[in-house]
């Protein structure tokens, strides 16, 4: 028993298509581009907007967050004003501003 094959041989097997006039090149699916989205964390959004040149107040406004939160994400240390309980009383501050009097030597009698 012998087998004979006529015709040309191709390195890849041919794939039967339903319509021979359809091109075989793959077209990108426009819907597939929307599937590649990434949701950034709020901190990452702050860093991105800062890199784009926005001011701290613009970033806070765009993200609807307090500016102190923006400062925290960017690692900006904000000094808090001293509370009244930690300040020295006014009379002590006034006394410390005066120059002390020098004691006088006891007089001869």
Contacts of 67 (CB under 8 A, 6+ apart): 56, 57, 60
Q: If DSSP codes are grouped into helix, strand and coil, which group holds residue 14?
A: coil
- Whether 6 is covered by a domain: the verdict is no
pTM over 0.75: no
Are 48 and 73 in contact by the 8 Å Cβ rule? The answer is no
- Whether 63 is covered by a domain: the verdict is yes
Number of domains present in the structure of the chain: 1
> For residues 94 and 78, what is the distance between their CA atoms, to the nearest angstrom?
29
Shortest CA distance to 64 belongs to which of 49, 78, 79? 49
Are 73 and 43 in contact by the 8 Å Cβ rule? The answer is yes
Range(s) of the domain holding residue 61: 39-79
Span 66-109, pLDDT tens digits: 999 999 999 988 777 777 665 665 555 555 555 566 666 666 65
């Amino acid at each position: 028993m012998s087998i004979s094959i006529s015709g040309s041989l191709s390195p890849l097997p041919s794939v039967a298509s339903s319509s021979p006039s359809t091109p075989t090149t793959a077209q990108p699916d426009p819907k597939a581009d929307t599937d590649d989205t990434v949701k950034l964390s709020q901190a990452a959004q702050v860093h991105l907007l800062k890199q784009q040149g926005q001011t701290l107040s613009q970033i806070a406004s765009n993200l609807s967050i307090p500016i102190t939160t923006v400062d925290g994400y960017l690692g900006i240390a904000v000094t808090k004003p001293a509370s009244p309980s930690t300040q020295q009383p006014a009379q002590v501050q006034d006394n410390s501003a005066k120059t002390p009097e020098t004691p006088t030597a006891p007089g001869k009698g």
